[in-house]
Structure formats: C-alpha cells, structure tokens
C-alpha cells in the first residue's frame, strides 16, 4: 500500500513538473515569436531589426539566465514525458480493451502526445543546430551595423524548399501538441474550476492555432518573397 501511494505521488509530481515546464515553454514561444516577426518587415528593415533582436536575446544577462532555465525545461519536459508514457503503457498493456475505450473517449492529439512531442524534440534539435549553434559557436559574417548577421543565415535556410517544408510540418505537429497540452497542463495543476475552464480552453485553442500558424508564415514568406 505504501509503495503504491509513493508511486502515485511520484506520478503526480512528474505530471505537475511536466505541466509547469510546458507552460514555461509556451511563454518562451510568445517572446521568440515576437522577435521572429521582425523577419516579416520590409527587406531593408528586417535585417537590422532581427539581428538586433538576436543580439539582445543572447547578451542581456536576465535573458541569458532564463535561457539556461529554457534548455533545462526542454530536456526535463521531454524526459519526464517519456517516463510518464512508459509507466502508463505498462499499466495499460494487460487490459487490451482499455486502449480501445481510450480511443473512443479522447481526441487523437491526446493519445499521441508522445509521438508529437518526439517530433517536436527532433525539430528543436535540428533548429538549434542550424541557428543557435552557428550563432554561439561559429564565426558568422557581420552586418553593416557590426552585429552578427543571423538574418542572412535564416533567409538562406528558408530559401531551401525542404527546410521550409520541415518548419511548416513541424508547426502543424506543434499545434496538435499544444491543442491538448495547454488545457491539460491547467487541469494537472488543479486550475480547472468550471468557472475558468471555458476560458482556459478558449485561450488554449486560440494559442495552439495562432502561435504555430504565425511561426509557419515566416519561412513561407521568406521562401516565396526573398
């Protein structure tokens, strides 16, 4: 009995941390999107604005500290998710009908959070290898304002059709992941009073459509116009 309750407690703690790290990542996406939207400015303004944004994001001390929290959250969220799913799969295996019932009672995204999350993780690794790693660890050309020309690297990447396609597909995957994840995080944290749940659901659905759509528009815009 004690072992069962300890297991239950650790399961709840895992879900709790998963929700907190997930919501922190949602917050990061808003800040990141706000900066990336400068890429949609007129060609003459976009370069200086985007390069100034990346310079600020990588040098301002408070943001530098929160970056470490961000890397930790991405890893923790992914590992915690794998541990929770492994445990849930083990529990479901002996009763086959349980999974069939789940299929009828839940939406597709909620049953595929592991696959969706893994795809997003692979996207983040590819994304950071191409942009973040180059920015931090290689000598990149400077722009006329003497800032590292990250704009040039981003534009060159999205001029490749396959790279733009990877981003668009990944943003669709991100949308599905958030559609279930946003609301589910609030439920896990116990913020699911019937008074607030329609608001949380509305905000979650708005966020999970609008944020990935705006992220996807950027590579499409660059691919078609630059």
Site residues for ligand HEM per CB under 6 A:
32, 36, 54, 57-58, 67, 70, 120, 124, 127-128, 131-132, 135, 150, 154, 174, 215, 218-219
The C-alpha atoms of residue 222 and residue 201 are separated, in whole angstroms, by 33
Q: At what angle do helices 43-59 and 61-92 cross, to 10 degrees?
A: 80
CB closer to ligand HEM out of 32 and 87: 32
- Beta bridge partners, 148, equal 142
- Tokens matching residue 66: 């929160």
Nearest approach, Cβ of residue 142 and ligand HEM (Å): 15
Nearest approach, Cβ of residue 22 and ligand HEM (Å): 12
CB closer to ligand HEM out of 87 and 127: 127
Nearest approach, Cβ of residue 151 and ligand HEM (Å): 9
CB closer to ligand HEM out of 84 and 172: 172
CB closer to ligand HEM out of 139 and 195: 139
The C-alpha atoms of residue 119 and residue 167 are separated, in whole angstroms, by 11
The C-alpha atoms of residue 154 and residue 152 are separated, in whole angstroms, by 6
Query: In this structure, what is the dihedral angle of CA atoms 207, 212, 217, 222, given to the nearest 10 degrees?
Result: 140
CB closer to ligand HEM out of 179 and 215: 215
134 CB contacts (<8 Å, ≥6 apart)? 140, 153
Number of CB atoms found within 10 A of residue 176's CB: 21
Tell me 127's DSSP state. Answer: H
Nearest approach, Cβ of residue 83 and ligand HEM (Å): 21
Nearest approach, Cβ of residue 116 and ligand HEM (Å): 12
């Amino acid at each position: 009995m004690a072992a069962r309750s300890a297991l239950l407690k650790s399961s709840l703690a895992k879900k709790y941390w998963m929700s907190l790290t997930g919501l922190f990542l949602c917050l990061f996406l808003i800040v990141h999107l706000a900066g990336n939207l400068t890429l949609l400015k007129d060609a003459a303004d976009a370069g200086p604005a985007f390069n100034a944004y990346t310079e600020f994001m990588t040098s301002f001390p408070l943001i530098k500290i929160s970056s470490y929290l961000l890397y930790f959250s991405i890893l923790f969220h992914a590992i915690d998710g794998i541990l929770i799913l492994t445990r849930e799969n083990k529990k479901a295996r002996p009763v086959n009908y349980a999974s069939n019932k789940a299929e009828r009672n839940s939406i597709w995204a909620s049953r595929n959070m592991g696959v969706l999350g893994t795809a997003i993780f692979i996207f983040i690794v590819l994304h950071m290898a191409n942009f973040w790693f180059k920015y931090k660890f290689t000598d990149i050309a400077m722009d006329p304002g003497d800032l590292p020309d990250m704009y040039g690297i981003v534009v060159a990447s999205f001029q490749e059709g396959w790279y733009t396609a990877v981003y668009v597909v990944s943003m669709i995957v991100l949308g599905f992941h958030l559609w279930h994840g946003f609301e589910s995080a609030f439920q896990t944290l116990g913020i699911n009073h019937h008074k607030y749940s329609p608001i949380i659901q509305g905000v979650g659905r708005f966020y999970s459509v609008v944020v990935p759509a705006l992220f996807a528009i950027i590579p499409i815009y660059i691919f078609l116009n630059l």
